[in-house]
Copies of this chain bind each other. A is one copy, B any other.
Amino acid sequence: MYTETAMVGLGAPLRASERAYRQLRGEILNGLLAPGAALLEVEQAERIGVSRTPLREAVARLIADGLVVGRRGRGFEVTDISVDSISELYELRQALEVQAIRLAATRRDPAPFLELRDAFVTAPELLDQGDIGVHRYYVLIDELEDAVDAAVENPFLVGALRAVRTHLARIRRLARRNPLRLRAAAAEHLLIIDAIIAGDPSLAAHATHIHLHQSLLSVLAAIEEDSEQ
C-alpha cells in the first residue's frame, strides 16, 4: 500500500504518465474515485496536470489492472465491486496463495520466517494498542507477503498475486474488520508460518486454505452488516 496519494518527493523525477497512473490508482484504491464513477480524458488530464497523451497511457494500464473499464464512446469508468465479484476474487486468490505458500514451504529457507514468527507471536498484544497497533499489524502482514513472494521466486505467480492484492485493497476499504477476526487471523498466520518453517507444504497449504475461507466469511459478514445499517 505504498501508492498513497502523498508520494513525497523522492529521487527520480517521475514521468508524467507514471504520476498520472499512481495518482489515479491511489484514488481508486482509496475510494476517492468511487466505483462506477465516469471519467473523461480531458477532465482528468487537466485535474492531474498532465496532457492527454500520458493520461491515456495511465488509463491503459489501469484497464489492464482491471480497475477501470473503457466505455463505448464516452470515456472510462471505475469498475465496481459486487459481492459476487468478491467471492470470485477469493476463488482466484485461494488458488494463488495456496500455491505460493506451498512453494514457500517447499523451498525451505526458514530464516526470514523465523523473524516473522516472533513478530506474529506478539501480534495479539499489538492489537490491544488501538489504531496504531492495528496499523503495525497490517505492516506485519505486508512483510509476510513480501517474505512469501521472495521465497516463491516465481515472477509469474508473484505477478498474479500482486494483481489480486490490488483488488483486495479496495475490498478492505468496504468492510471494517472486527478485532476478534484480526486476532483469529493472527493465529492462522502463525500456523502458516510454522508450517513453512517446518517445511511442511501440505500443512501450509491447508492452513492457508482455511485462513482464506475464514477471511472471506468475515469480509462478507462485515459487508452484510454494513449494508444493513
Taking Cβ atoms with an 8 Å cutoff, the residues of A that contact B are: 53, 56-57, 60-61, 64, 66, 85, 88-89, 91-92, 94-96, 98-99, 103, 154-157, 159-160, 163-164, 167
Contact = CB atoms under 8 A, between A and B. Distances in A.
Query: Which are the 5 A-B pairs with shortest beta-carbon distances?
Result: A95-B99, A64-B64, A92-B156, A88-B154, A95-B95
Interface of A is mostly: helix
Contact of A154 (B92, B96, B154): B92
Contacts of A57: 56-57, 60
Given A56-B57, A98-B95, A160 B157 contact: no
Number of copies: 2
Contacts of A94: 99
Nearest to A95: B99
Nearest to A164: B156
